[in-house]
Structure 1
Amino acid sequence: MPGRLAVYDDKTFKIDVKDLIKNDMIGELNPRYNIAPTIPIPALLNNGNYLYAHFGYLPSWAKNKKSMNINARSESIFEKMTFRDSFKSRRCIIPINGFYEWEVEDKEKTPFFVRDMKNDYMALAGIWDEWFDIELNMKIVTVALITCDANEKLGKIHHRMPIVLDKKDFSTWLYSQKIKEVNELFKIYPSEKLDLYEVTNEVNKVLFDEASCIEKIKKEPVGQLALF
Structure 2
Amino acid sequence: MPGRLSIYNDKAFKIDAKELIKNDMVGELNPRYNIPPTIPIPALLNNGNYLYTHFGYLPSWAFSKASMNINARSESIYEKKTFRDSFKYRRCIIPINGFYEWAKEDKEKTPYLVSDIKNEYLALAGIWDEYFDTELNMKIVTVALITCDANEKLGKIHHRMPVVLEKKDFSTWLNSSDLREVIKLFSVYPNEKIKMYEVTSEVNKVLFNEPSCIDEVIKIDKKDEEIKEVGQLSLF
TM-score (norm 1): 0.98
Please tell me whether residue 79 in structure 1 is matched to residue 82 in structure 2. no
| Structure 1 position 189, deviation (Å) | 0.2
Pairs aligned (count): 227
| Structure 1 position 218, deviation (Å) | 1.0
What residue number does 2:201 align with?
Answer: 201
- CA distance, structure 2, for counterparts of residue 122 and residue 110 of structure 1: 22
- CA distance, structure 1, for counterparts of residue 146 and residue 106 of structure 2: 29
Which residues of structure 1 form unaligned runs of 5+? Answer: none
What residue number does 1:54 align with?
Answer: 54
Provide Cα deviations, 1:200-224, integer angstroms capped at 9, x if missing partner. 0000000000000000001122124
| Structure 1 position 128, deviation (Å) | 0.0
- CA distance, structure 2, for counterparts of residue 53 and residue 26 of structure 1: 10
Greater share of helix: 2
- CA distance, structure 1, for counterparts of residue 47 and residue 16 of structure 2: 17
- CA distance, structure 2, for counterparts of residue 34 and residue 49 of structure 1: 24
- CA distance, structure 1, for counterparts of residue 119 and residue 21 of structure 2: 20
Which residues of structure 2 form unaligned runs of 5+? Answer: 231-236
What secondary structure, in the 3-state scheme, does the structure 1 residue paired with 2:152 have?
Answer: coil
Please tell me whether residue 101 in structure 1 is matched to residue 105 in structure 2. no
What secondary structure, in the 3-state scheme, does the structure 2 residue paired with 1:26 have?
Answer: coil
User: Which ranges of 4 or more aligned residues in structure 1 deviate by more than 2 Å?
Assistant: 223-227
Amino acid at match of 2:188: I
- The percentage of counterpart residues that share the same residue type is 76
- CA distance, structure 1, for counterparts of residue 18 and residue 152 of structure 2: 33
Provide Cα deviations, 1:147-202, integer angstroms capped at 9, x if missing partner. 00000000000000000000000000000000100000000000011100000000
Amino acid at match of 1:175: N
What residue number does 1:186 align with?
Answer: 186
- CA distance, structure 2, for counterparts of residue 113 and residue 15 of structure 1: 24
| Structure 1 position 107, deviation (Å) | 1.6
Kindly name which structure, 1 or 2, has the bigger radius of gyration based on alpha carbons.
Answer: 2
| Structure 1 position 58, deviation (Å) | 0.1
Q: Which structure 2 residues correspond to residues 152-191 of structure 1 after superposition, within 5 A?
A: 152-191=152-191
CA RMSD of aligned residues (A): 1.1
